[in-house]
Structures are given as C-alpha cells and as structure tokens.
C-alpha cells in the first residue's frame, strides 16, 4: 500500500503515557530478535511452526512433529500475532501501532486496552481459521490486531489530521477518515481479489477490523464519544439554600 502514516499529533487526555502501546511494541521487537532469531530478511522457521497459527493444527486435523510442539495449540490464536516474517513485516505493523495505538489506549485505559488488543488478535486469528479450516500454512504477524486498532481509531477520531508519506516520499496531512478509510476499503477489496497461495492473510485483517469496531463501542471509557462528537458534560446542580439555624457549629 503506497501510503504510510507517520504522525497524528493528537494529545492524550486521560493518560500521561501510553504504557500499553510501548509494552506491545517492545514485546513484538523482543520476540522477533530473541525468540525468532530474526535478521533483516529471515527468521527461524521453527518458531513459526511452534508459535504461529496453523488452522489444521488449531482444528485438530493435523499434529505438529513433537519437536515443534512448544505450547497448546489453542494458545497460538494469540502467540501468532507477536511473530513476523521479516524486518519489513515487523516495521510496517509497528509503525501503525506507534501512530494510532496511543490514542486508542487513551480512550480505553491501560488494562482494557491490552485486553482489547489481545481480543482483536484472537478475533483476527479465528476469522482466518474459519476462512481455511484445514489450511496447513501458518499465519503470523500483528496485522490483525493492528487492524482492530485502526477500526477503533477511525471510529473515535475520524476528523483527526494525520501526516502520511504518499508513494513513500511525499508528506501530506490528511483526515484520518480518508487515510484509514482507504486502508479499510483496501482490505475488503484484497479479500475479493485474493488468489490461492497469496502470502497475505487478508481474512485476518477483516477479522481484526470487525472485532475492533465492535469492542470500541463497549470497552471505551464511559463518556468517551465516538466519531469525534463533543462529549456531553452535565452542569453541576445548584446548592440548596442553607438554613443557618440548622447548621451545626
């Protein structure tokens, strides 16, 4: 995709620092370099088999060789989202996470944001499994969880201006509704035109988008509006008149 977000500039309101976002960034980088043994263009394929999401294994249609069994297969619906195929795959996902996740965390709070992220990863993974229940190719990457972040940000702040690099080199400041709206439409278009053997798990992106759009409605902080609406603030009730004769001294 020829548009890369680089900065949104929206200040935080409810939290001082996006510790959840930073923790997820650190976890993804740590897993890539220290668990996957990642280099610029390759990773340890054993880690992909052990921690990636393989639909046939998840659905008990296929057993992994014993030497690759590291965790229960049901847990791979989360662990797959912390693995990446190469440094560019990692960098692209972390860029979207860096630009948009802090304001989503601001709207949720630290704990609920972390739960939200993991649920988006699980939702994305499960939709991928449903799309190919007997598939033997593992899916890895934070793209599905990041898609949930994108959906939440788009529903929270569609009017926010975002700095992007168009065609990888032209800086533009555009509304989030256009930048992220185009990204969302591109995911649905890609599902329709995807060919067998396509290396991008488009269905996981769709799963993440849908999960994020649903969860932002029910998990955001009370009083945080959607679609950049002005929050309703109730005026304080006037104080009742004080009867000096009944005042305790």
Write down the domain spans for the chain.
3-246
Q: Rounded distance, CA 215 to CA 137, Å? A: 29
CATH top-level class of 3-246: mainly alpha
What is the token pair recorded at 54?
């393989």
249 pLDDT above the threshold of 50: no
Q: Rounded distance, CA 191 to CA 210, Å? A: 14
Q: By the 8 A CB rule, do 17 and 101 touch?
A: no
Q: By the 8 A CB rule, do 127 and 205 touch?
A: no
pLDDT in tens, 57-106: 999 999 999 999 999 999 999 999 999 999 999 999 999 999 999 999 99
DSSP secondary structure string, 158-177?
TT-EEEEEETTTEEEEEEHH
What is the token pair recorded at 69?
């069994």
Q: Rounded distance, CA 157 to CA 225, Å? A: 9
How many CB atoms neighbour CB 232 within 10 A? 7
Confidence band of 4 (pLDDT split at 50, 70, 90): confident
Q: What is the pLDDT of residue 233?
A: 47
Residue 162 phi, psi (nearest 5): -125, 130
Q: Rounded distance, CA 135 to CA 176, Å? A: 35
pLDDT in tens, 187-218: 999 999 887 777 789 999 999 999 999 999 99
């Amino acid at each position: 995709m020829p548009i890369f977000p680089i900065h949104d500039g929206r200040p935080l309101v409810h939290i001082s620092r996006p510790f959840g976002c930073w923790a997820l960034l650190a976890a993804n980088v740590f897993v890539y370099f220290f668990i996957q043994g990642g280099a610029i263009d390759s990773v340890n394929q054993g880690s992909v088999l052990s921690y990636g999401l393989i639909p046939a294994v998840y659905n008990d249609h296929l057993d992994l060789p014993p030497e690759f069994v590291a965790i229960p297969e049901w847990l791979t619906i989360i662990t797959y989202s912390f693995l990446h195929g190469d440094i560019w795959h990692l960098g692209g996902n972390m860029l979207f996470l860096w630009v948009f996740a802090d304001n989503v965390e601001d709207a949720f709070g630290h704990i609920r944001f972390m739960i939200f992220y993991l649920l988006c990863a699980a939702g994305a993974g499960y939709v991928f499994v449903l799309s190919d229940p007997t598939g033997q190719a593992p899916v890895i990457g934070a793209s599905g969880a990041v898609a949930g972040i994108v959906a939440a940000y788009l529903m929270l702040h569609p009017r926010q201006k975002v700095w992007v690099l168009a065609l990888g080199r032209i800086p533009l400041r555009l509304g989030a509704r256009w930048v992220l709206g185009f990204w969302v439409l591109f995911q649905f278009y890609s599902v329709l035109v995807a060919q067998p053997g396509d290396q991008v798990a488009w269905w996981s992106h769709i799963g993440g988008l849908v999960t994020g759009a649903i969860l932002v409605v029910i998990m955001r902080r009370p009083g945080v509006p959607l679609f950049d609406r002005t929050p309703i603030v109730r005026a304080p009730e006037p104080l009742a008149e004080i009867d000096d004769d009944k005042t305790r001294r």
